[in-house]
Chain A
């Protein structure tokens, strides 16, 4: 079984003034290739810290983070940046698009940073078609609706065909209709391209689109809520 994500005894302690504030207290979990996983939990439970650690934006206090076979916990900034560039795509709650350039340029920028231009032209067209972005590419982000902006962000995140897509509250700024559209697109990407996706959310409805929910509390994974399986869209069972 190939894991795209594996953490071992992962801890993260923030130093606030003279006080140590533990955010993660020994997190162990794995995500298989092609899995679509939701990480849920209340505010302050450590899920954002976990996402930032998985994305190599933070370094852990201790433990291992193995992304597609590379332990980024023991890697330097340069190596983590390379893993982020080659293997990870990010989607944020606030879209985080560059407001001054068009949707097309936002996506092209990600390809430029990636270096080898990621997916081939056909796949790029397919992705844009799937996300309903054809015809919107010349618009600047502020000329698009929230849902459209998030779809551009989604396209930017997957355009280089990353091993892992990390989404931080991707529907947090969207109404229910757009939330549904975005989550359905994430699921389509997962199905069509076997895209491994980890979504952080506190909305149960969002989590219903995923294969599995990992619940966190006080910097730890709560065992009793692991391994939910999706039966059909919008409903999940034990």
Chain B
């Protein structure tokens, strides 16, 4: 039976190739989209976690995905926070999304930032900024944008001198002085977030409990550093729905392509189905034959789609080093399963129709 299935697929090479490509496009679509969204989340989460803050303190209505909001709060809250028993360091940060660079710019206070992050900001080349219109960029940004120390960078329509390149993985890709960004952003004495470092790890829960229950800090968003990844993935508005929509579209593509392919195949092979019936083939045998054929087509499409996804990831990350794409084996397995199921569903009606064909009419089919 395998010989018949393979030969049927080889009989119409153009249609087979188109079907396989269509299935693989669906697979690539899902794998890349999920990979990008998970990659971006993971990257943002890692960079936030690498600040090593024990607690993140934000204004009401804000999000850990900074690009999604511009809520700010007065910097003077820093003083109140420092009065809380158990808190050792507090570092304010203001962020601004640079549409031109399609990147987040963080305004930081280098001294307190290094206190919280325990000197986590590693300068690989040059130095940290001293003057208001100096900035540092991370190595990925420098590589992908082909910039180096000494060059100027246009940030929010202002020229900033790149004075240093820091090791990627912490904060943002572009760091500027806090006061400068406040000035440019018309947010004087404002901050988007306070990174808090406690005296020791044992005090984190107590401090967190205090900040979330004390009337003075009521209405602010407080997140423990250890919960960043979980909070980010669960609080991202619309991502799950959008991912689901992409999956549905890709599944529909696979389903319709296989349905159309197998439907035309069955119509073309009406006579052959009549022959099978004359040989005594059961309905189950015929359904199984069609299903296996479609599953073979879908499997090749899925395999090709996964290979193309990996190739596309490789190419995209080389072309755009700052674009994080996270390919996970479980996601790829899940996508393969979805595509196979949609392929099987797409072939079910043609298979059922084939099995129901009148053998005499089928044998007379021209």
Say yes or no for A101: interface residue by CB 8 A criterion.
yes
Q: Which residues of A contact B282 (CB under 8 A)?
A: 78, 81, 85
B360 near A98 (CB under 8 angstroms)? Answer: no
A109 engages B8 (CB within 8 Å): no
Majority-rule SS of B interface residues: helix
Alpha-carbon distance A85/B285, docked complex (angstroms): 12
Whether, in the assembled complex, A82 has its beta carbon less than 8 Å from a beta carbon of chain B, the answer is yes
Tell whether B100 is near chain A: CB-to-CB under 8 Å.
no
Inter-chain contacts of A82 with B (CB < 8 A): 280
Is the pair A101, B7 in contact by a Cβ cutoff of 8 Å?
yes
> Do A114 and B7 have beta carbons less than 8 Å apart?
no
In the complex with contacts A52-B360, A57-B360, A58-B360, A114-B8 CB distance below 8 A: no
- A101-113, CB under 8 A of B: which get 1 and which 0? 1100100111011
**Stretch in A31-39, A88-96, A129-137, A204-212 touching the partner:** A88-96
Whether B271 sits at the interface, judged by CB under 8 Å, is: yes
Q: Which residues on the A side are within 8 Å of B111 (C-beta)?
A: none
Question: A54-81 CB contact bits vs B (8 Å, 1 = yes)?
Answer: 0101100000000000000000001001
CA distance A55 to B274 in the complex (A): 13
Cross-chain contact of B280 among A88, A97, A98, A101 (Cβ < 8 A)? A88
Does B363 make an interface contact (CB < 8 A)? yes
Q: Specify which chain B residues have a CB less than 8 angstroms from the CB of A237 in the assembled complex.
A: none
B 1-32 contacts with A by CB, 8 A: 1, 3-4, 7-8, 10-11
In whole angstroms, how far apart are the Cα atoms of A81 and B271 in the complex?
Answer: 17
B4 and A90 within 8 A (CB): no
Given contacts A100-B7, A105-B4, contact A86 B271 (CB under 8 A): no
Min CB distance B47 to A, Å, is 57
- When distances are taken between beta carbons in the complex, the residues of chain B under 8 Å from A102 are 3
Which residues from 246 to 285 on chain B have a C-beta closer than 8 Å to any C-beta of chain A?
A: 271-272, 274-283, 285
B43 to nearest A CB, angstroms? 50
B279 and A109 contacting across the interface, CB-CB below 8 Å: yes
Which residue of the partner chain, among B4, B272, B278, B360, contacts A84 with CB atoms under 8 Å? B278
Is A113 within 8 A of B359, CB to CB? no
Taking CB as reference atom, which chain A residue is nearest B269? A98
CB of A96 within 8 A of CB of B277, answer: no
Q: Check if B4 sits within 8 Å of A113, measured CB to CB.
A: no
Interface size on B, residues (CB 8 A): 23
Chain A residues contacting B363 (CB-CB under 8 Å) are: 57, 92, 96
A96 and B278 in contact, given A57-B360, A101-B7 (Cβ under 8 angstroms)? yes
- Contact B4–A98 (Cβ < 8 Å): yes
If over half of A's interface residues share one DSSP class (helix, strand or loop), that class is named, otherwise mixed; here it is helix
Are B278 and A113 interface neighbours, CB within 8 A? no
Number of contact residues on A: which range applies? 20 to 34
Partner of B359, one of A57, A86, A98, A100: A57
Q: Establish whether residues A101 and B279, one from each chain, have CB atoms under 8 Å apart when the complex forms.
A: no
Q: Is the CB of A98 within 8 A of B272?
A: yes
Q: Knowing A100-B8, A100-B11, say if A109 contacts B280 (CB, 8 Å).
A: no
What residues on A are CB-neighbors of B272 within 8 Å? 98
Write out the residue numbers on chain A whose beta carbons fall within 8 Å of the beta carbon of B359.
57
Q: Is the CB of A85 within 8 A of B280?
A: yes
Contact of B360 with A109 in the complex, beta carbons under 8 Å: no
Residue of B nearest to A58 (CB): B360
Are A109 and B4 neighbours in the complex by a CB distance under 8 Å?
yes
Q: Is the CB of A85 within 8 A of B279?
A: yes
Other than the given A98-B275, A101-B7, A113-B285, 11 more pairs (CB < 8 A) read A84-B278, A85-B282, A90-B278, A90-B279, A96-B274, A96-B275, A96-B363, A100-B4, A101-B4, A105-B4, A113-B279
Q: List 24 A-B contacts (CB under 8 A).
A: A57-B277, A78-B282, A81-B277, A81-B280, A81-B282, A81-B283, A84-B278, A85-B280, A85-B281, A85-B282, A90-B278, A92-B278, A92-B363, A97-B275, A98-B272, A100-B10, A101-B7, A105-B4, A108-B3, A109-B1, A109-B279, A112-B1, A113-B280, A114-B280
Binding site for A on B (CB under 8 A): 1, 3-4, 7-8, 10-11, 271-272, 274-283, 285, 359-360, 363
- Contacts from A to B (Cβ < 8 Å): 52, 55, 57-58, 78, 81-82, 84-86, 88, 90, 92, 96-98, 100-102, 105, 108-110, 112-114, 156
9 shortest interchain CB distances as A-B pairs? A85-B280, A100-B7, A84-B280, A57-B359, A105-B3, A90-B278, A96-B275, A113-B279, A113-B281
